[in-house]
Structure 1
Amino acid sequence: MEYTSMLEEKVESLEKERDDLLEQLKKMNEYRKEEKAILMEEIYKKDKTIEELQDTLRDSEETIRNIHREFATYKTKSEEKARQDKSLTDANLSQLSLSEKSFVKGETRFRGNICISACEPSGKYIILENTSGAKDEDISGFQIEQYVDNHPILKYDLPLIILRVGKSIKIYARNGGGRHAPPASIIANEISCWGQGDCVETVLTNTDGHNVARHEQTRGYK
């Protein structure tokens, strides 16, 4: 009887120990699941951060490429403008030295109502005139091209301009000494000086690319 009682106590003790172990195992499994979930969340966040950094890096690289392209374009335009200014300045100096011994003859031709009525010999301004007696002319976006001794030297796109019946507009170069007073006159800030030389040809082209007016200016010597 006593032996049986001892066995029962032993079994009861083992069962309790088993239950305790099972409870511990259950808690450990739950803890492991929580740890795994936390770890997966951290991995997800790190992956997300890496993706965002990669996107930022790509955007930065594209921005850098755009800056390089813009700088290259600006440099090219600046160098071209410097060459143009030098060419026109040299021509202006030459013009000053020869002005007392030379004379200028101009000839204008045009199709339609707009003509190039004058090109100031020292490159200060160009005059466009509406010869129509009944119709205003929209010359917005027309382009002025100039050639000196058959070499193209400059192009200028006209801004918004409505040339009224019988009126003219004087387009000053930046260094031409004029003032911006539309519709009578404007300043072409992109042009430091209009073309000068022994043979200067000025062409006006409309927005369709057709030449509508031409002015040829030649210099003779006494």
Structure 2
Amino acid sequence: MSFKNKFGIGDIVTLKSHPLKRDHSKIKELSLLVPPLMLVKEVQFEDQKNKKIFSEEIENAKVSDIIKYVCIYFCANTSKFEEKTLYESFLISYSELNFYKELDKEKKPEKDIELIPEVSTYYSDFDYKYGKTIQFKTKKLEHRKSYIKNNEYLKNSSFQTPDFVLSGIKKEPQEKLFYPNGDKKRIVSDIFYKVMWFNYVHQKFSEEYFPKEFFVEGLEI
């Protein structure tokens, strides 16, 4: 039996517990408690023959998934990328979040209906050019989060990314994509970009490879 993945490479996801999933004007939680927006680096399918999806002790109690995702986010605290593998049941698309903006001091916050559609038009298949400045697809979404009041912890919980410089490109081997019976095992991007940024924590320039689907160019924040 073949399972259909809900998300693909380069899709923006977050935990279902993200406060912007609820319909209110600004985030009430401490910024330290707000999960990051992440990009899907790889889709993985568990071996259905050996995977236990339901509890052996409690009837009809689901305890796992067949599909999981390798997710990437940028931590401004450490100035580096973090990777976490999460099951599909834990995740939602960024499109389910509610972003707001304040028009002026005399008007109530209004839902920013333009931001989500704008992100959906991001085009990652731009021409590769060595030395080009590009941006992470989550940058504007993370930048536009707003909190109910000034938060002293805000500076300690940012997932905003810097801009990046394109410093390399490579083809990713398309290996071990299927199980012997023909079922999907994993989905990966075929092209990875190497990007450079200034790592202020270690006072050096850092570089990493990521799928081309992670990046866009020319965003106005």
Q: TM-score, normalised by structure 1?
A: 0.18
Question: Greater share of helix residues, 1 or 2?
Answer: 1
Structure number with greater Rg is 1
Q: TM-score, normalised by structure 2?
A: 0.18
Considering Cα pairs closer than 8 Å and 6+ residues apart, tell me whether 1 or 2 has the greater RCO: 2
